[in-house]
Structure 1
Amino acid sequence: MKKIRIIIYAAVAGCLIIAFTIWQLFFNPRHLPSGDYISQSTSPNGKYTVKIYQSNGGATTDFAIRGEVTYNNKTFNKTKNIYWNYPQEKASVKWINQDTVNISGHVLNVKKDTFDFRSENE
């Protein structure tokens, strides 16, 4: 009975490691292509800056847009990917208030929200 439990634990651990590796390689927003800089927009209070990049996957794929927010702080500037959409060639950015931005029709709170076309059910 003890051998069976060890085998089950090893199988579950193996599945978790494989799932985590797949997520890291294909779905983690930190590993998105950098792309070519297009534009940027700073929040009304100056606390955040959203930069837009266009990613070109080559001759066989369309363009994609990546949005990155920079948390403007005097001691450090932290950046985070908050927007990833494919296919999309251009993007518009409008601030709704101090913490909320509209990127091409997707309203995001820059503190907590992200948009990734790969996980949307539209």
Structure 2
Amino acid sequence: MTANSTIKGARRKKIVKIALIISFLFMGFIGYGVYWAFFDMKRLPTGEYLTEETSPDGTYTLKAYVSSPSLSADAVRGELVFNESKGKKNIYWNYRESTAKIEWLDNKTVVINGHTLEVPNGKFDFRNEK
């Protein structure tokens, strides 16, 4: 083996590594873009206000909204409001619903249209259900 062929082999390996890294980065960006565009709960439509219920200790309020897009069925969005910090986040999104029944079982457990969630981290999104 000559020194020239060893250099060519090392160069080829380096090019393959760089191509693989670029491919993985590109696939990662595409994957995140699909998630952001179609599954990110922060991007849900606002909808029209339906109802709200406050947790027994007053820490949280769950507000429900109905979204009526022109080409598909209604969907209900549940927004958890952190009463002390004024923060909020979407924790519920269900298709083919136009009403919301909210019931707090205790300070950390809420039932929305039959779906039980532990707040503040629990969430229900029909797009992720099988």
Q: For 2:88, which of 79, 85, 89 is the aligned residue?
A: 79
Higher helix fraction: Structure 1 or Structure 2?
A: 2
Where do 4+ consecutive residues of structure 1 move more than 3 Å?
none
- List alignment gaps of at least 5 residues for structure 1: none
Cα distance in 1, alignment partners of residues 103 and 16 from structure 2? 58
Cα distance in 1, alignment partners of residues 78 and 120 from structure 2? 14
Cα distance in 2, alignment partners of residues 22 and 61 from structure 1? 20
Match of 1:102 in 2: 111
Q: For 1:66, which of 54, 77, 99 is the aligned residue?
A: 77
RMSD over aligned CA atoms reads: 0.7
Amino acid of the structure 1 residue aligned with 2:81: T
Amino acid of the structure 2 residue aligned with 1:11: S
Higher strand fraction: Structure 1 or Structure 2?
A: 1
User: 1:22 aligns to what SS in structure 2?
Assistant: helix
- Percentage identity across aligned positions? 37
User: 1:112 aligns to what SS in structure 2?
Assistant: coil
TM-score (norm 1): 0.95
User: 1:24 aligns to what SS in structure 2?
Assistant: helix
TM-score (norm 2): 0.89
- 1:61 Cα offset (Å): 1.2
1:118 equivalent in alignment to 2:130: no
